[in-house]
């Protein structure tokens, strides 16, 4: 059965953000933590999972697939480098759904070779989150990617704002992922509610 993703996909870097924003109605959230020990990340995954289960949200663990298996999580997201070193059989055996990042056709071919549950494409627009070797993809690339992947859900990420949501979803994305437009906003709670309202008004 084809996975149906919520059109609003929030990405955060701590369990504290999960506890803060999931109660507002977030239904799809990725925990992407860098630079901490496995033990510390495992604790945060555990805390985030409890919160998400309470509020009926899907928790996606970025990169740390072994910890996701150990903590009984249901979603993992892997970048291309992480994908190369992952035990995909173990991930599937644990019943975990898999999302994969893509930035060009070679990476898309690699992603599709592992039968992902969703594909992410980025950056759609310039992003301040991190330096990337890829130029902004633009809306036309979203449409191209959706034609290539068919029924597999497509997540657009990179430089997305509320004003850009309609164009992104109209171009073919099933879900719009956001980081800085919420986490660096002066009022993250208010901005989260705006994102929820904007995405659900379209779909």
Decide if 37 is catalytic.
Answer: no
How far apart, in whole angstroms, are the C-alpha atoms of residue 48 and residue 13? 11
Decide if 164 is catalytic.
Answer: no
Kindly tell me the burial class for residue 3, based on how many C-beta atoms sit within 10 Å of its own C-beta (0-12, 13-18, 19 or more).
middle
Contacts of 130 (CB under 8 A, 6+ apart): none
Which is the catalytic residue, given 27, 97, 101, 146? 101
- Beta bridge partner(s), residue 75: 60, 97
Which is the catalytic residue, given 20, 32, 43, 66? 32
Cis status, amide bond into 83, omega within 30 of 0: no
Whether 156 and 174 have beta carbons less than 8 Å apart is answered as no
Decide if 32 is catalytic.
Answer: yes
Whether 155 and 5 have beta carbons less than 8 Å apart is answered as yes
Contacts of 183 (CB under 8 A, 6+ apart): 12, 13, 17
| Token pair listed for 94 | 């644990």
Give catalytic residue positions.
Answer: 32, 101, 130
């Amino acid at each position: 059965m084809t996975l149906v993703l919520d059109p609003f996909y929030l990405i955060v870097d701590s369990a504290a953000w999960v506890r803060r924003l999931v109660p507002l109605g977030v239904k799809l959230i990725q925990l992407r933590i860098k630079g901490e020990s496995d033990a510390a990340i495992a604790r945060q995954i555990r805390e985030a999972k409890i919160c998400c289960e309470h509020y009926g949200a899907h928790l996606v663990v970025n990169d740390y697939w072994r910890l996701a298996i150990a903590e009984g999580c249901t979603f993992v997201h892997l970048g291309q480098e992480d994908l190369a070193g992952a035990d995909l059989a173990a991930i599937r055996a644990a019943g975990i759904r898999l999302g994969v990042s893509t930035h060009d056709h070679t990476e898309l071919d690699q992603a599709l070779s592992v039968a992902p549950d969703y594909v992410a494409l980025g950056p759609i627009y310039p992003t301040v989150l991190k330096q990337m070797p890829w130029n902004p993809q633009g809306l036309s690339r979203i449409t191209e990617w959706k034609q290539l992947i068919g029924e597999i859900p497509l997540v657009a990420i990179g430089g997305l704002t509320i004003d850009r949501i309609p164009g992104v979803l109209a171009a073919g994305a099933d879900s719009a992922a956001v980081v800085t437009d919420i986490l660096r906003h002066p009022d993250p709670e208010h901005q989260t509610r705006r994102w929820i309202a904007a995405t659900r008004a379209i779909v």
